[in-house]
């Protein structure tokens, strides 16, 4: 499978990717501008509300709560993410669709370890920072929906298959987003688009377009 921005050897090539950068900015901006105002407003406040949940889960410690939520977030609906985080804080344990690795990370954070030293992966780490401090402009959560929005089309799973195949197993691996260069390409596209649209921070654009996109795809 050829990832976006790859050369003939399958390696990330920034020069190839840059040819599509303007189009990605345009796709992101168009998704935002075409979304109903209600969804824009709801999305723009998403991380602020998530921060409040993190403070509650962390019992006043936003970093702890955000870390637990981020650790348990892969392939998990937000409402279930909160439920699992509450369960772990209350009982010291929970279950997770991706196995025990995510749970162990959440337990370590709950026991006092620094989330930035426990969490790994571009998307999960960015998600943590967006929740922990929604005013920080330096992090953008690029998941499969954010990727689809930038590309202007739904990702087709490995094997050329169904849209439902997208995201099974390792989403980051399937989309090539384990590559920091590729991840940063999409992060930068959201950053430029948010600046062009006059938004305070790029995570507001990512969350607003995410809400609008999910409304069209669920």
Global pTM reads 0.87
Residue 84 domain-assigned? yes
Nearest in space to 146 (alpha carbons), one of 175, 180, 179 = 175
pLDDT values of the chain reduced to their tens digit, one per residue, 218 residues? 567 887 777 787 888 888 889 999 999 999 999 999 999 999 999 999 999 999 999 999 999 999 999 999 998 999 999 999 999 999 999 988 887 999 999 999 999 999 999 999 999 999 999 999 999 999 999 998 999 999 998 765 544 444 433 334 455 555 678 888 899 999 999 999 999 999 999 999 999 999 998 875 44
Q: How many domains are there within the chain?
A: 2
Q: Are residues 126 and 146 in the same domain?
A: no
Residue 202 domain-assigned? yes
Which of 115, 132, 149 is the endpoint of a domain? 132
Residue 97 domain-assigned? yes
Which of 114, 132, 150 is the endpoint of a domain? 132
Q: Are residues 82 and 102 in the same domain?
A: yes
DSSP assignment of 136-201: -TT-----HHHHHHHHTSPPPPTTT--GGGTTSS-HHHHHTTTSHHHHHHHHHHHHHHHHHHT-SS
How far apart CA 208 and CA 99 sit, in angstroms, is 30
Q: Are residues 112 and 181 in the same domain?
A: no
Residue 43 domain-assigned? no
C-alpha distances (whole Å) from 215 to each of 5, 6, 178 are 28, 31, 27
Domain that holds residue 72: 49-132
Q: Are residues 118 and 94 in the same domain?
A: yes
pLDDT recorded at residue 168: 40
Q: Are residues 117 and 143 in the same domain?
A: no
How far apart CA 114 and CA 173 sit, in angstroms, is 26
Which of 132, 159, 189 is the endpoint of a domain? 132
Residue 1 domain-assigned? no
How far apart CA 55 and CA 81 sit, in angstroms, is 15
Residue 5 domain-assigned? no
Residue 9 domain-assigned? no
Q: Are residues 99 and 119 in the same domain?
A: yes
Q: Are residues 127 and 190 in the same domain?
A: no
């Amino acid at each position: 499978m050829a990832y976006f921005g790859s050369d003939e050897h399958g390696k990330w090539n920034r020069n190839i990717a840059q040819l599509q950068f303007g189009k990605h900015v345009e796709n992101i901006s168009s998704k935002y501008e075409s979304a109903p105002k209600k969804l824009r407003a709801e999305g723009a406040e998403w991380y602020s509300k998530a921060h409040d949940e993190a403070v509650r889960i962390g019992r006043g410690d936003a970093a702890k709560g955000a870390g637990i939520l981020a650790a348990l977030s892969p392939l998990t609906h937000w409402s279930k993410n909160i439920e699992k985080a509450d369960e772990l804080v209350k009982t010291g344990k929970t279950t997770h669709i991706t196995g025990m690795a995510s749970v162990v990370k959440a337990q370590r954070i709950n026991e006092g370890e620094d989330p930035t030293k426990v969490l790994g992966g571009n998307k999960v780490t960015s998600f943590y920072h967006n929740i922990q401090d929604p005013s920080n402009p330096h992090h953008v959560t690029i998941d499969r929906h954010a990727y689809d929005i930038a590309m202007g089309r739904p990702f087709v799973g490995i094997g050329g298959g169904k849209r439902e195949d997208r995201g099974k197993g390792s989403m980051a691996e399937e989309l090539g987003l384990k590559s920091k260069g590729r991840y940063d390409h999409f992060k930068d596209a959201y950053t430029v688009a948010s600046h062009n649209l006059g938004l305070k921070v790029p995570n507001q654009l990512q969350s607003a377009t995410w809400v609008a996109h999910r409304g069209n795809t669920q």
